[in-house]
Amino acid sequence: MIVDASDECHKASFDFGGTVTSRQFDIKVTQYACGDENGGPDGCLQYFTGNTGTFASYNFPTTATALTSTVTHLSNQCYTMCFRQEQGKCAICFQPVITASIAVIDQASFGLSLSPAGIAAGTQDTSCSMDYLQIPGAEEDGATTVFVVGSIADEIHNRICGRFFNLENGNDGVGGTDNEESICTQQRPFRVHFKTDADEVTLATAANMNDQGVHPGGIIGFHLNYALQDC
């Protein structure tokens, strides 16, 4: 976590609900001089370097190889993750670390908000208003649409949500039901924004009315691979 500095005192505040569980923290603090690239650009809560790597929502069990229904993202999140553009790289692609089935004990490492229909599915853009990832200039890289660096895709998207990390033509249509494709962008600087609201929806049992009603759930958060692409 990288926090922009000021000339005043920096204070870390923690607020916990009532519990009998004892908690301990071991926090390492590093200060970067103004202009030090390791501190990342302004406004980046996380900053990643290198051609490949992984990143995840806070509270995600990144060492897990299978995800149960108890995996949940944090509420009221709004922050930006930034990726350094390495030499000779002009695009970046993302894909879930765990690409799994729809079983409750074998969910993929992506799930944010409701599905656009009663079944579990992905969606994008105007259908994503509660919990979502914002990837400016997002393009599909899958079986029907192949991402090519330097070309202009027929469909450019901005927000991704739902139960699968999967784009579909149209601004708010029902997306795919698998996590096998990747999502790429050529828009620079490389940034991903994460937004969640205060609540989860539990109005009924269908996937478009309940974040947990149909698996995979929409409460998982995300754990994604990233890979920079050659120019």
Neighbouring C-beta atoms of residue 170, cutoff 10 Å: 15
Q: Does residue 192 contact residue 95 with C-beta atoms inside 8 Å?
A: no
Domains of the chain: 46-230 (2.60.120.290)
Query: What is the number of alpha carbons within 13 Å of residue 207 lying toward its C-beta?
Result: 23
Beta strands in 125-197 (DSSP E): 132-141, 157-162, 182-185, 190-195
Parallel, antiparallel, or unpaired for β 46-48 and 78-83?
parallel
In tens digits, the chain (231 residues) has pLDDT values of: 888 877 788 787 877 776 777 777 788 888 888 888 888 888 899 999 999 999 999 999 999 888 887 888 999 999 999 999 999 999 999 999 998 755 555 678 999 988 887 788 888 898 899 999 999 999 988 877 888 999 988 889 999 998 889 887 665 566 677 787 899 999 999 999 999 999 888 888 888 888 887 888 889 999 999 999 999
In tens, the pLDDT along 128-185 reads 999 999 999 999 888 778 889 999 888 899 999 988 898 876 655 666 777 878 999 9
